[in-house]
Amino acid sequence: MKKAIQISTEDLVFQLDPSETLLEGLERTGHQVEYQCRSGYCGSCRVTLHSGRVEYSQQPLAYLRQGEILPCCCQPLEPLEISVGLITPVKKSA
């Protein structure tokens, strides 16, 4: 059985449920993420991956630069660190 995977973004750390996509997990936790097709065609959702590995059940058609992933259709294989922020950024104390 698949386990929850830890996702670290610019603003917080959350557990990605095995039943949800990374895009759904980012939406659930209030992150600012674009999307259109939600199936690997348009590339709107692409984010930069800082650490961790993902795979795709089908190679996505959208163009990806080195170090970018598609949260709508990737499957995280291990804890990820990605460059996405919250819609309402958390104020960091000085």
Site of interaction with ligand FES (CB under 6 A): 35-38, 40-45, 62, 70, 72
CB of 71 to ligand FES, least distance (A): 7
Q: Closest separation between CB of residue 51 and ligand FES, Å?
A: 21
31, 85 contact by CB (below 8 A):
yes
Between residues 6 and 44, which has the closer beta carbon with respect to ligand FES? 44
C-beta closer to ligand FES: residue 5 or 45: 45
- Structure tokens, 75: 């499957």
CA–CA gap between residue 17 and residue 33 (Å, rounded) = 18
Enumerate residues 6+ apart whose C-beta is below 8 A from 93. Answer: none
Shortest distance, CB of residue 33 to ligand FES, whole angstroms?
9
Phi, psi for 68 (deg, rounded to 5): -105, 150
